[in-house]
Amino acid sequence: MNDTITTSPEVLRAQMVDRITAAGWARSRAVAEAMRAVPRHLFVPDAPLPDAYADQAIITKRDATGAALSCASEPIIVAMMLDQLDVQPGDKILEVGAGTGYNAALLAYLTGQDGQVTSVDIDPDVIARARHALDTTGNTRVHVVTRDGTLGDAGHAPYDRIIVTVGAWDVPAAWWEQLVPGGRLVVPLRWRGQTRSIAFDRTGNVLRSNSVHLCGFVPMVGQEGERTGHIDPGGEVALYWDEDQPIDPASLRAVLDQPKTTAWSAVTVGPEEPFDGVWLRLTSTDPVTCRIAAAPDAVKTGLCTPAIPVRSPALVEDTSLAYLTLRRLDQNGSPGSAWELGAIGHGPAGEQLADRLCDQIRAWDQSRTGQPVITAYPAGAGRDEPLDGQTIHKRGTVLSVSY
C-alpha cells in the first residue's frame, strides 16, 4: 500500500467527512461538499496532518495557566452548527469568534460569490492568524476585524445569519439589532451550568429555538454571568451557577459532611447512552438547577460522587443540595452492563431535592429525544406573549425553557 496516498490531505479529509455523515451530521449536501473542499490542515499548520482531520479539537492559543483561549473546534461540532445555520447562497453572515479561519472559509464556500462573510474576534493575534490562513487558501473576500464580538460589526450589517463560535452566556443587544427579521442566530449558549448550541429564528422581537444540541466551547471574553465557589474545606467540590440564582457556597461549606440520602429512579442507560437530556429538562422545571464538579480525590473518598464528576446537574436550596449520580447494575462490572440513574441529597432538604431530581429523570425517560422550546426576548423589552416554563434572567436577555 502506498502510504503517501493513504495519508494525503485529500484522503484524510474524505475520511473525516465520511465519519461525520455516518454520525448523522453534514446532513445537507452543501455542508458535506464544503467540508470536502476546504483544506482544514492549512488552517492548523502546526498540527500533524492526521490530527488536522481527526475527531478532536485543536488548541491554537493558551493563556499563562494553560487554559485554552482559542481553538479549531472538533469537525463534527463544526458540521452540526453549519447544519443548524442552514446557510443559503448569497447570505450575509456574521461569525463571532474567528478561530483559525476554517469556519469562515466553510461559510464563504456555502454563501458563494454573491454572499458576504464577516468574522470578528477580540484577540488581534487570532485575527492575524485567521487572515493569513484565509488569504493562503484563496478566501480573500472574507472580512475579518479585531473587535469585541458582543458588538458584532454594524458596518456590514444587517445579517441573514449570525453564528457564534465561542461560548456565550448572553445574547447581547448588537446581535439582536444586526440580525434581519426572519434571520437565524446559532449560538453556544450557557445557562444553569451547561452549554447548548441553539439555532434561534427571529420573529419580530422574539428568538425561538429551531434546534438544540449539547456542545462545549471556549468561553467568550467579557461575559461573566456565571458564578463559582467551593462547598468543602478542601476545595475539592465546586458549584457553578448563574447570577440570577440566590446560591451562597459559604452556607453549604459543610453540607457534604452531613448524612446523605440516596434516591434511585429505576431509569437505566447503557454504557454509551447519553443522559444529558436530564440536565436540560431540569433547567425547564427547577429554578435551583446548577452544576456540580468533583475532583478525583473527592470521588475516590466518596465525599461527592456525581454521575460525571467534572460536570453534573445539581439542585441547591439554602443549606441543602442534591446531585445526579448513577450505579452499575451488574456488580461484576461487565463492560456492557446498564447503569441506573439517581440522586444523592445532603442537608435538611436533601431528601426532597433528591426526589425532585429523580422525578425529572423519570420525565426525561418518557421522551428521551424530546426537544425543548427555548424562547428569548431582549431584557426590558415588552413581550407579545407570556413566557412558559422556567424564566432565566440574563443581562441582555430573558430566556425561557419549556417542554
In this structure, which amino acid lies at residue 289?
Answer: T
How is residue 325 annotated by DSSP? Answer: E
Instruction: Determine how β-strand 339-346 pairs with β-strand 260-269.
Output: antiparallel
Cross-strand pairs, 333: none
The single residue listed with the C-alpha cell 446532513 is 27
What stretch of H or E contains 14?
helix 9-22
28, 70, 73, 312: the active-site residue: 73
Residues 15 and 17: their CA atoms lie apart, in Å, by 5
Among residues 83, 121, 31, 321, the alpha carbon closest in space to that of 215 is found at 83
Sheet holding 226-230, edge to edge: 226-230, 237-242, 289-294, 312-317, 320-328, 339-346, 260-269
Q: What are the phi and psi torsion angles at 383 (to 5°)?
A: -115, 140
The single residue listed with the C-alpha cell 473542499 is 37
73 is catalytic: yes
C-alpha grid cell for residue 383? 413581550
Q: Do 324 and 304 meet the contact criterion of CB atoms below 8 Å apart? A: no
Residues 51 and 385: their CA atoms lie apart, in Å, by 49
Residues designated as active site: 73
